[in-house]
Amino acid sequence: MVTGKSDISGWLVRPAGGPLWSALAVVLGALTTHTVLVTSGGGMDNAIVVDAARTWLAGGSPYDDPHFLYFPSAVLAAVPQALLPRSVLDVLVPPAVTGALALGWACALRLHRVPLHSRLAALGLLGLAAGFAPFGQLVRLGNWTVTAVLALPLCLLLASRGRWVAAGAVVGVAVAFKPLLAPMALLFCFARRWRALGVLVLVPSAASVAAALLMPDPAGFLTRTLPFLLRGDDAFVRLYEASPAAVLPRLGVPGAPAALLGVLGAAAGVVCAYRRWCGPGPLPARLAETSAALMLSAFLVSRPSYNHYLLVVLPLLLAGAPHPGAVARRPWFWLSLVPQLPGVPWPWLESVRRRAFRDAVTLCVLAVTVARHCLRGTREADGPRGAPDPGRAPVEPVESV
């Protein structure tokens, strides 16, 4: 990391002043308070999980609701919330989501060895809260995507310190809440961390099987939710999906070619992710960029695929900005985020139901940008010709819990 005064990186990693932290506190406080007072309702998406838990407590099947797209383990995890009155959830959920987003940002900073008291720490979170619309939407929705936003940088932080089994456990717990981070299993395959991969698979599998045995419809996820996800033909959900398979048919492209295009893009992204893992650079950068490529590839074919999913990868990439050759230093990284600026009146796209077109542009441009970066690598990371690359050692440190 460059810390000299002549480089923007040096300015970013130096301590932030009191006014900057005060501005951040005001913005986060205003967003959270507004959500509590005006738009919470327990969080629309949070209510889906909580209502599923309430249905189970009343003796019914959570999978009677076709929009409940979680593993059975999520039902048990939501029971504490289901036992609380809605008025209490209205107050607790928005601050909890905001706090989890801030913790995820802190883990991303530490992954890249950026000080938590730095200007980037304050400015980055301020920029996400005030300049990236999905941040506020996630706080208002109370969606359990926030578990992945926190779990992924925490997992990579542990992995960067050689604690791969603990990293696998973190991802496993997150998948038990919501299967969004399931593609991260490929990272453990790339790194040949089979023991950690086993933990990743075992945690949600055991939790889901145990929870399913307590439900009146033990196979509900397999017989109802999985076919729903594979079909992706829900009219309400499709209006908000950002994947090419959902957006292109709305523009007149036949469904089959649109789906094929998404699959090809995802496959290319996985190849680029593997190339980045095997490429040059320090381990934290390779972890962050490989993971971002894997998750963006999954979002290209995921049904559903929402704009707030981008918060899973964006902090990882943004936190690496002080390092030479980072993705966040490429112009197209910032251009991809322009459609997500809050308050910009985009002609013909002002409607909430047409927001998916803007979300698709951001997803596809960001995915292509990260994929190209993975293929090209970074000249700065290569170092002098003939210099050893500590990030490409054939044998990593022995994993520990």
What is the reported pLDDT for 387? Answer: 38
Question: What domain count does the chain have?
Answer: 1
Which range (25-29, 167-171, 234-238, 289-293) has the least confidence? 234-238
Residue type, 44: M
- Mean pLDDT across the stretch 23-31? 96
* Bridge partner list, 15: 118
- Residue 148's nearest CA partner among 105, 110, 177, 128 is 177
Residue 5 pLDDT exceeds 80 = no
Q: How many angstroms separate the first and last alpha carbons of the chain? A: 28
Residue 227's pLDDT band, with cuts at 50, 70 and 90, is confident
Residue 394 pLDDT exceeds 50 = no
Which range (177-181, 313-317, 382-386) has the least confidence? 382-386
The domain in which residue 253 lies consists of 232-382
- Mean pLDDT across the stretch 28-37? 92
| 3 part of a folded domain | no
- Mean pLDDT across the stretch 22-27? 96
| 181 part of a folded domain | no
Residue 32 pLDDT exceeds 50 = yes
- Mean pLDDT across the stretch 94-118? 96
DSSP letter (8 states) at residue 16: P
What is the reported pLDDT for 383? Answer: 45
Task: Tell which wins on pLDDT, 41 or 18.
Answer: 18
Task: Tell which wins on pLDDT, 389 or 211.
Answer: 211
Residue 314 pLDDT exceeds 90 = yes
Question: Tell me: the pLDDT tens digits for 50-76?
Answer: 888 999 999 888 888 877 888 899 999
| 207 part of a folded domain | no
**Are 162 and 273 in contact, with CB atoms under 8 Å apart?**
no
Task: Tell which wins on pLDDT, 87 or 370.
Answer: 370
| 78 part of a folded domain | no
Residue 7's pLDDT band, with cuts at 50, 70 and 90, is low
- Mean pLDDT across the stretch 274-287? 93
* Bridge partner list, 118: 15
Residue 386's pLDDT band, with cuts at 50, 70 and 90, is very low
What is the reported pLDDT for 328? Answer: 94
Query: In Å, what is the CA distance from 57 to each residue of 74, 82, 290, 312?
Result: 13, 9, 41, 31
- Strand, helix or coil for residue 200: helix
Residue 389 pLDDT exceeds 50 = no
| 175 part of a folded domain | no
Residue 196 pLDDT exceeds 90 = yes
Task: Tell which wins on pLDDT, 230 or 157.
Answer: 157
What is the reported pLDDT for 324? Answer: 87
Which range (157-161, 281-285, 387-391) has the least confidence? 387-391
| 85 part of a folded domain | no
| pLDDT, mean over the chain | 86
Which range (26-35, 92-101, 225-234) has the least confidence? 225-234
For 15, phi and psi rounded to 5 degrees? -60, 140
What is the reported pLDDT for 231? Answer: 66
**Are 119 and 15 in contact, with CB atoms under 8 Å apart?**
yes
Residue 351 pLDDT exceeds 80 = no
Q: Which residue has the tokens 């972890």?
A: 287
| 102 part of a folded domain | no
